[in-house]
Structure 1
Amino acid sequence: MRKILAAFFVIMTLSSLLQAESGKKVFETYCWGCHHQTAVAFGPSFAEIASKRNADEIRAMITDPASVSKAFGYKRNAMPAFKLSEEELKAITDYILSFKSAKPENEEPNKMKIVPKAYPNIAKNKEVK
């Protein structure tokens, strides 16, 4: 089953490399099945990732998730490694970081934060209990 799944990701990666031109396009091509911009999905939302990781950590997680997961102390990793062009990697990293909310130091803690518009109709925000 793992070989079939790996083959699927390789085929999808190879066929989609030519189509990815921007961060949103890279997201739509590779990421949306497991990640959403501001909602909980199989993987963490881009807003959550952007609030915890810098550009180098994001790039490393995309290209070598097994090693980075170990370095972060995660017990397991479900994310496949992606072989993206330098332009695609920069585009998706910048796109993920665009979901980082800018919080002024004097902001009230319960004040609603504004995040970039999420991909329409893919997922609804879920509350984590």
Structure 2
Amino acid sequence: MKKNILIALSLVSFLSANELDGKKIFETYCWGCHHQTAVAFGPPFNEIAQKRTYEEIQAYILSPESMYKAFGYKRTVMTKIDLTDKEREAIAKYILSYKGK
């Protein structure tokens, strides 16, 4: 029984260690233009979280130049950021954590 508990705790610890920290990725790539709850150069995360889905956020990060019209913008100044799939997923989750704030 103790062995099963140790295995389960090890697995949870391993899975947690493999999750990327969306906040750290945000601070590295997004902080210059976006803040969590205040308007900076770009909209704040709480505003984005109210308007966009998980998939839409990732699509805009992946290719802002091809998504801005679909989002109803006249232009985009957001540059394409070369992130891995996992980094984009972590950023999208972090942004959506501000929904309702």
- Which band: TM-score by shorter chain? 0.7 to 0.9
TM-score (norm 1): 0.61
**Which blocks of at least 5 consecutive residues in structure 1 are unaligned?**
1-20, 102-114, 116-129
Aligned to 1:75: 74
Question: In the TM superposition, what are the counterparts of 1:10-89 in structure 2 within 5 Å?
Answer: 21-89=20-88
Task: Name the amino acid aligned to 2:51.
Answer: K
User: C-alpha distance in 1, partners of 2:83/2:71?
Assistant: 22
**Residue in structure 2 matched with residue 91 of structure 1 by the alignment:** 90
- Cα deviation digits, residues 59-78 of structure 1 (max 9, x gap): 01101001110222311100
Structure with more helix by fraction: 2
Gaps of 5+ in 2: 1-19
Amino acid in the other structure paired with 2:88:
L
Deviant stretches of 4+, over 2 Å: none
- Which of the pair has more CA radius of gyration? 2
RMSD: 0.9
Identity of aligned residues (%): 61
State the alpha-carbon separation in 1 of the partners of residues 59 and 39 from structure 2: 22
